[in-house]
Amino acid sequence: MSMYGLLILVHIVAAVAGLGASFAMPVVMKIPETSHQAKFSLELSKKIETFAKIGSIVLLITGLIMGIMNPYLFKAGWYIAPIVIYIGVQFIVAGIMPKKVKQMAEIIHSHKGDDVPESQEKTNKHLKHSITLYKSPPMILFS
């Protein structure tokens, strides 16, 4: 296998690990019906987030290296569009999502009952909306 072929393999694995993990997070956060389950979901989502972050960074790096190895890619719209989208959604991924997850953790850890607080559910819905916006641009491009 050539160096470029190995790079493509790493790029594909990173895409599956990173994007797959980001699609799993809303599912995990939707399940809790009790405060104990919500705490577990938050902890699990933190672990899933690690895969999403690493996969996303590796995806960007391998993609840019492939572009450096084949400079003509920087003139291809299908190559440039995902990079622009990646940069564009970083304010959601790096700004909005961590704040909302922290807010949800504070709400659930300070809650005394066994039910899921209403404010937790509202924050979770807002977070899901942010994640939907994060995932939407690639879907629009390739639909």
> Radius of gyration (Cα) for the chain, nearest Å?
18
Residue 143 pLDDT: 34
Residue 115 pLDDT: 75
pTM beyond 0.75: no
Residue 73 pLDDT: 93
CA 24, 27, 32: angle at the middle one, nearest 5?
135
How does DSSP classify residue 89?
H
Q: Is 107 exposed, middle or buried (0-12, 13-18, 19+ CB in 10 A)?
A: buried
Residue 123 pLDDT: 64
Give mean pLDDT in consecutive 10-residue pieces for the chain, a chain of 143 residues: 92 88 77 80 83 88 94 94 85 72 78 71 62 48 38
* Distance between CA atoms of residues 139 and 119, nearest Å: 30
